Amino acid sequence: MTTDFDRSDNQHRPPLGATREAGDAPLIVTPTFVSRVDDTARGERPQDAGSSKSRHGHEVHFPNWRPHALALEGDPNLAYEHWDEYWRKVHGPKFAWDEPGSSSALVVRYDQVHRIASGPSSFFAPPYRAMIGEDGKLPSDPEKRVPAYRRPRWDGFAYIAYAERDDIERTLKQDKFDRRIVADEQVAFRMVTREITREYILVPSARHRDPISLVKIHVRRPELSREAFQRRLLKEHAALVLASPATRALVRRYAQLHNIGSTQHDPEGSKIDAVSVLSFASLNDVEDYLVSSEHAALQASEDALAGEGSEWWTAINYSVINRLGPEVATRLPDETP
């Protein structure tokens, strides 16, 4: 018996979905950063109006007081796992499926990028060292020495690409997206960003099946304009990254996403000036990249540009929609076609 792929997202990516040749012009990407619905107090993590829906369709204004009321999962012990499963296995297929009268055809790529706590982050970077006491031995009282967990601001992002900026509105203003996908977001996410970016692929992926990404959210230093920051990130910093032996050995894909606006009022997303996404074959490759001998120079270059509010973390990639053939490097602004 063959598998029935009706309404599945398999139909929107290889090997079942058809692809077309990729060009070298920059794509337009909406890197929609998300924080998950959970019982965190609003003062600790912002919450979009209307999100964190209850089973009755109303916003749970104080989820730390009423976690049992959340539609997604009322048991805090299961909240993360249920959210992670729901985003990939329920929300992703809903987004991809063409319900009667709708089409996702203008979405040329949609990847879900799920942050994982066990991967490297700006809050806990490798190398990871054995904890020792004053006697040079492992502590005999580990229960008193558990490091505090520092949670990044975002739990992942939806990496959604279009050929043209106008394709965003043509897609998202359809009744399916404007009403039912947004309603689904309000069940799964407490906050989403709405920025629009221009994508520069600097190291193209051979198959766009790379399992792990290092995601760097850049907020510029206050003395830099957004334009100056993006120019230096794309020219000066990218040149160092591309010249690094560790990049050539370990990085399977490298792209920069430069903020050029927003689809709507976006107080959190508007703070993000750019995003760098570097993809790898394994989590160990990310760790090895970050502890390589030349990475200190790359980090210093980045720190000279990025300011408060920047963060980076590691994530698992899921391809939901991919309508493009093998990637090619993006033609940069000063390059002629």
Convert the pLDDT of each residue in 200-246 to its tens digit. Answer: 999 999 889 999 999 999 999 999 999 999 999 999 999 999 999 99
- pTM attached to this predicted model: 0.95
User: What DSSP line would sit under 221-255, residue for residue?
Assistant: -TTS-HHHHHHHIIIIIHHHHHH-HHHHHH-SEEE
For domain 22-139+154-322, the CATH architecture is 2-Layer Sandwich (3.30)
Cβ count within 10 A of residue 293: 9
- Give me the residues paired with residue 322 across strands: 109
The stretches of 47-200 forming alpha helices (DSSP H) are: 79-86, 92-96, 166-172, 175, 182-188
The 10s digit of each residue's pLDDT in 248-271 is 999 999 999 999 999 888 999 999
Contacts 24+ apart (CB under 8 A), 125-128: 125/290, 126/287, 126/290, 126/291, 127/287, 127/291
| β-bridge pairing 156-162 and 253-262 | unpaired
Q: Give the integer Cα–Cα distance in Å for 40 and 54.
A: 15
Domain boundaries, the chain: 22-139+154-322
pLDDT digits 0-9 by tens, 101-129? 999 999 999 999 999 999 999 999 999 99
Q: Which of 203, 213, 275 is nearest to 241 (CA)?
A: 203
Nearest to 252 by CA among 316, 201, 325, 203: 203
For the beta carbon of residue 223, count every other beta carbon within 10 angstroms: 8
